[in-house]
Amino acid sequence: MLHFHQRGCQPFPSCQVLVDVPCTTDRHSLHEEENNIFQRSRKKERQMLPMLQVQLLAAGLLATKPGGYVVYSTCSLSHLQNEYVVQGAIELLANQYNIEVRVEDLTHFRKLFMDTFSFFPSCQVGELVIPNLLANFGPMYFCKMCRLT
């Protein structure tokens, strides 16, 4: 295990954190039987994913210093694993830690890549790239947040 100081990094808090959580990996689940999260035997694990995702996102936001940024991402189409997780983590931090988080507007990103990717038109927070055969990509959800306090 490397220590932060050996690599020239500083211990937490950090300026930027990527929280790429375990999810249902919808595209892979369609094509693979082995270890598929949609198997009946993994139902409870699948149902617990949003709670785990909220905990991981909250931990990422707590590890970020005020003024720092967090990007949350999944490869799921599920609103429960995407927008609701973001909203749940923001509410959790506000209520339990009095930490304020702002969701960043990613409209510029959507405009920049609208010829390459297909975006879901109705996300409340973040952006969702929906599967597209021509681009051979998706799904991918991402949301950028700034920790204010």
Which residues are part of the catalytic machinery? 75
C-beta separation of 72 from 143 below 8 A: yes
Helix (H) or strand (E) holding 105: none
Q: Which residues pair with 102 in a beta bridge?
A: 146
User: Cα–Cα–Cα angle for 92, 94, 99, nearest 5°?
Assistant: 120
Q: How far is Cα 117 from Cα 104, in angstroms, rounded to an integer? A: 20
Q: How far is Cα 120 from Cα 114, in angstroms, rounded to an integer? A: 11
Q: How far is Cα 72 from Cα 86, in angstroms, rounded to an integer? A: 8
**Collapsed DSSP state (helix, strand, coil) of residue 79:** coil
- The answer on whether 105 is annotated among ligand-binding residues is no
**Binding site: what residues are annotated?**
20
**Binding site for S-adenosyl-L-methionine: what residues are annotated?**
20
